[in-house]
Amino acid sequence: GNTTKVHSLGRWVTQQRTKHKLGLLPAVRVAELSQLGFIWDHHGAEWEANFRQLILYRQRHGHCAVSVARAGESGRRFALWVNNQRSMARDS
């Protein structure tokens, strides 16, 4: 079914990223995927998206103290990301 197709696509995407990182993906494939807007660094892209969201949050609220308790289900991931960034900064 669709779940199987999604999982297969996910595995394929991961394989392309791994091959690219190891320098094993032919340049023509890199160019084709890049032209489609393929995200090579998923974690970096997710970090950037959360950072942009934090900028908007600060503009609206005047601070960056995002509360996990008040985030609601839709904002919980973002609030956890903010808290993780804060924890990593303290630990470094």
Contacts by 64-73, CB closer than 8 A, 24 or more apart? none
Measured in residues, the chain has a length of 92
Statement: the pTM of the whole predicted model exceeds 0.85 = no
Give yes or no for residue 74 having a pLDDT over 90. no
Q: Could you read off the pLDDT of 29-57 as tens digits, one per residue?
A: 999 999 999 999 988 999 999 999 999 99
The Cα 12–Cα 47 span in angstroms is: 22
Give 67's pLDDT tier (boundaries 50, 70, 90): very high
Are the CB atoms for 66 and 79 separated by under 8 Å?
yes
Tell me the HSE value of 41 on the side-chain side, using a 13 A CA sphere.
7
- The answer to whether 57 and 64 are in contact (CB under 8 A) is yes
Q: How confident is the model at residue 91 (pLDDT cuts 50, 70, 90)?
A: confident
